[in-house]
Amino acid sequence: MIIERRSFRLGLLAGLFLFAGVIAGIVLSSRLDWMPVAGSAENAATALPPGVGPSTNFVPIVKAVTPAVVNISTTRVVKGPSGGEVPPGFMDDPFFRQFFGDEFFKRFGIPRERRENSLGSGVIVSPDGYIVTNNHVIAKADEIKILLNDKREFTGKVIGTDPKTDIAVVKIDAKDLPTVPWGDSDKLEVGEYILAIGNPFALNSTVTMGIVSAVGRANVGIADYEDFIQTDAAINPGNSGGALVNVRGELVGINTAIFSRSGGYMGIGFAVPANMTRAVMDSLVKHGKVTRGWLGVSIQEVTQNLAKQFGLDEAKGALVSEVLPDSPAAAAGLRSGDVIVGFDGKAVDSPTLLRNMVAQTPIGRSARVEVLRDGKRQTLSVKIAEQPKEIAQGDGEEEGETAPKTALAGLELRNLTPEIANQLGLKPGASGVVVTAVAPDSSAAAAGVEPGDVIMEINRQPVKSINDVKRLSEKLGKNESALLLVNRRGGKLFLVVKP
C-alpha cells in the first residue's frame, strides 16, 4: 500500500515536471521565433519551386535532357617539349636548328611536336547539329570529335567563338538530333532547383543536383562580359560546356567554371546564362562574329561616398565619368556626372549590368536611358551603335608642390605641360594637374589616387593649374570630402577623397 502511494506520488510528480517542460518549451520557442526543423507539409511545399515536392523524381527530366548533352574531345599539335627542357620556340629558332638539326632531337628523345588532348561537354540546341559549348573547351583545337549519347561520333566544325563570354558554337553534319529547349535565365530565382549535366573526368552523362546560389555574379575574372549564375551543383573538370537545366528541363545556363583550391568541386560553380548564350550564338551563326551594342561612355561603380556626393539615396547605378565625342551618348545629351539608373525599362544596379544590357541591344535600336542629373530624374533616348573594334580592346608655381593640408594632403603635384601630356599618352590640349607622388598613409592613397593621374576637376569645378588646386582646396572644410575627376591613362573616373 505504501509502495503504491509512493509510486502514485512519483508518477504524479513526473507528470507535472513533463507538463511544465512542454509549457516552457512552447514559451521559449515563441520568444526566440524558432521554427520546426521538419516543418509541416504545407510549409515544405511553399519552400520549393512549383511542381517540386519532397519526393520529386528528376528521372523524366534527365531522360529528356541527357541525350542532347555531348562529349567533346579535342586534339591540338604543339611544337616543342612538354617538360620545359628547352625554352618555348627555341627549337624553331633558325640559329639553333642550323647547328643542331633534327639529329639533336632524336638523340635526346625530344619531340619536335606533341599532341595534346582535352575533354569537355556541349549541348545540342538545334536538330540540325548546332552545339553550344565553352570557348576554352575548343580553343586552338586542330581536331574536334563529338561523341553523342547513343555512341555515334562526329567531327565538329567551329562556327564561331567569343572569348569575351567564353562561348563557342560547333556544328556537326547530322539531322533530327535530340535538343534541349531554351529557358529564360532572367526568370531564375535564388533557391531554385537546377541540374548540371556533363562529362566530368570523362564520366559521360553525369548528372548532379543543386540550387541557384546567386545570379548576376560579375567581377569573377573568368571572362570580359560576366553575368554568371552561381550554383552548388557539383561541377568538375570536364563539365565545361555542359547543360544547366531547371526543373522543367529547359536550358538556363552553360556550365563554365568552378571556384576551387583543390582543383575539384568545392560547392561554387558558375554558368553563363542562357539568354546571353543564345544572343552570342545567334550573332555567331548569322554574322560569323559577335556584334555588340555601344553607348559611348566610361562608367564606374557608385560607392557610398560617391552616392553622398551626388545626392543619391542608395549606392546603385552606373556613374558616367566620361562621354566620348561623336558617340551615341554624346548625341543623346548624356553628361559626365550623370548616374544611369535605368536602361530600356530595366533597373541598372551596377556598371557591369549596364554594360551587359547595352552589349546585347540590337544595333540601330533606340533605347530609353534613365539618368539622375543634379538630383532630378530624366529620360533620354539613345540610338545604340555597333561597338568599335578599338573599344572591343605652367603659371610659375614650383613643380612637385605639395597639396594644401585638407583632404588632398599627401599629394605632390605639377602643372600639365604638352611634354608631360605626350608622355602620359593624353590627347593634345588636355588640361589639369599631374599627380607626381602620393603619400602611402594619406587619404588620397586610400581613395585610389595614383601617380600619373591628371586631376581635371575638384568638386565639379575645373582645374587648370596648381593655383586652382590651392583655391579649391581652401574652400574645403577640415572634415569635408573632395570629389575628384581624374584622367588615368586616357580614361576618366571619379574618386572621393575623405579627410
Rounded to an integer, what distance in angstroms lies between the CA atom of residue 336 and that of residue 345? 22
Residue from 73, 136, 185, 481 carrying the catalytic annotation: 136
Query: Which letter, b or e, does each residue of 77-96 get, where b requires 16 or more Cβ atoms within 10 Å of its Cβ?
Result: eeebbeeeebeeeebeeeee
Sign of the torsion angle spanned by Cα atoms 467, 470, 472, 474: negative
Residue 129 labelled as part of a binding site:
no
3-state helix, strand, coil in the chain (%, to 5): 25, 30, 45
Residue from 121, 162, 166, 481 carrying the catalytic annotation: 166
- Facing residues of 175 across strands? none
Is 327 an active-site residue? no
Burial of 329 (0-12, 13-18, 19+ CB in 10 A): buried
Residue 205 φ/ψ region, left for φ over 0, alpha for ψ in the -120 to 50 degree band, beta for the rest: left
Residue from 240, 443, 473, 481 carrying the catalytic annotation: 240
**Contact criterion met (CB below 8 Å) for 191 and 210:** no
Burial of 120 (0-12, 13-18, 19+ CB in 10 A): buried
DSSP string over 288-303: SS---EE--EEEEE--
Is 166 an active-site residue? yes
Which three three-digit cell numbers place residue 146? 563529338
Rounded to an integer, what distance in angstroms lies between the CA atom of residue 342 and that of residue 379? 9
Q: Please report where in the chains the cell 571619379 appears, as a residue.
A: 494
- Residue spans of beta strands (DSSP E) within 302-347: 318-323, 339-343, 346-347
Q: Please report where in the chains the cell 619536335 appears, as a residue.
A: 112
Residue 240 labelled as part of a binding site:
yes
Is 136 an active-site residue? yes
Q: Nearest Cα to 187, choosing from 215, 220, 210?
A: 215
Q: Nearest Cα to 135, choosing from 166, 109, 108, 159?
A: 166
**3-class SS at 187?**
helix
Residue 166 labelled as part of a binding site:
yes
Rounded to an integer, what distance in angstroms lies between the CA atom of residue 320 and that of residue 355? 12
Q: Nearest Cα to 205, choosing from 73, 74, 65, 61?
A: 65
State the binding site for substrate. 136, 166, 238-240
State the binding site. 136, 166, 238-240
Residues with a known catalytic role: 136, 166, 240
